[in-house]
Amino acid sequence: MASKVLSPFVYWAQSNADLTLRVDLKDVKDPDVAIEEDEIEFSCVGVGSQGRQKYEFLLEFYLPVDKDSAMCTVYDREILIKIKKKDEDWWPRLLYEHKKLPWLKIDFDRIKNESESEEEKEKPADFSYEELLKNKYPDAYEQLQREELGFISTNYKSLYLFCYNLFMFCGFLYAFVLMSKKYFQEEEEFLPKAYATVGDIYKFLHLLMFLEVLHPMFGYTKGSIFEAAIQVTGRNIWILALIGGEERMQSKPVVFYLFMTYAVIELVRYPYYMLRVYDMDIGLITWLRYTLWVPLYPLGFICEGVIALRDIPYFEETEKFSISLPNEWNFAFYFPNVIRFYLLFGFFPMLYTQMWHMYNLRCKKLGIKKHKSNKKKED
């Protein structure tokens, strides 16, 4: 069952150089504050809107901050956190994602700019932040408008992400159940039929994965566009080219094992993302998300390597995806050599990079926090 998280009222303000967060809690001692360049995590026991409870929040900053400059001061009726921005510039909003949190509010009394007078600080209660940007900081307002071009509202965006992850989960679940059923019915005889059974499903699902490259590009999710593009493109090269492009490879048992590995990975990944859309966390799913990769990623890489190695003589024979001279472009491309280059120079570095990346994520999510003046936070 997902645990309910109580968040305190947080009032934020900025200048060109600093951020100020005012946490509206009373009788707080030793708040647990972890600040990184891109986010802040806060947790403590105090008296807030729900009485004496444990309150916590996580905020991902619009741009990086100087975490070493952070100062946290505890008063009787509030906690004041001041952080310097890495680049002195006015932010169009506090959060990386364009969303409204009911407990996060603008602290107009503290908003200041070098050109702002005392009279301009006073704003009516219903004054919107977009209005403030438009009237006083037109450049920041134009930047916000450019970012919102092509964006959908926060509620619709969350609904879209939830439905996308649900659809992908159902697709991989269907493929996994279908392959499992066929395998238990036919046993070893089914292995050469795996691609014929679910090949089209895997093609469609993996082409749909290119949306995961667009999600961080448009700000729907936080992550590296480059990493998403590499992962999705790599998967599609194996599904569409190395397997789909060579009929003799489609009947190899290794295709079944690769498909099953992909399915198990995604049957955990997509439910985890579905929950994260609404900031929910189920311990078992989180643990599986950051643990199952330990055996599955090497297994998947081995299957991909076997497929690439066995494809070399096939593509040498057919010259598919290769371009020979002479031609009107005066350009040559030999696909088997690209496969050889990957196996010799790219296979182990890619495996190491992916495993190291997942290991770091696992340490952040499941590891023990280190208590410092500005603690390192787990993602």
Give, for 131, the enclosing helix (H) or strand (E). helix 129-136
342 assigned to active site: no
297 catalytic per annotation:
yes
| Cα(91)–Cα(19) distance, integer angstroms | 10
What pairing do the DSSP bridges indicate for beta strands 39-48 and 32-35?
antiparallel
d(CA 339, CA 95): 43
Q: Please, which residues have CB within 8 angstroms of residue 169's CB and are 6 or more apart in sequence?
A: 266, 267, 270, 271, 274
Question: Residue holding tokens 């499903």?
Answer: 201
DSSP assigned state of 29? -
354 Cβ contact partners less than 8 Å away, ≥ 6 residues apart: 297, 301
Determine the distance from the C-alpha atom of residue 335 to the mean position of all C-alpha atoms in its chain, rounded to a whole number. Answer: 32
- In angstroms, the CA 307 to CA 196 distance is 17
Q: Which three-class secondary structure state does DSSP give residue 298?
A: helix
Cα–Cα distance, 209 to 259 (Å, whole number): 15
Reported for 290-297, long-range contacts at CB under 8 A and 24+ positions apart, including other chains, are 290/358, 290/361, 290/362, 290/365, 290/366, 291/362, 291/366, 292/264, 292/265, 292/268, 293/265, 293/355, 293/358, 293/362, 296/261, 296/264, 296/265, 297/265, 297/351, 297/354, 297/355, 297/358
Among candidate residues 96, 160, 174, 297, the one labeled active-site is: 297
The span from the first CA to the last CA of the chain, in angstroms, equals 20
Q: Within 10 A of 361 (CB to CB), how many other CB atoms are there?
A: 15
Q: How many residues does the chain have?
A: 379
Compute how many other C-beta atoms are within 10 angstroms of the C-beta atom of residue 256. Answer: 23
Count of other CB atoms within 10 angstroms of residue 231: 15
Bridge partners, 44 (sequence order): 55
Catalytic residues: 297, 304
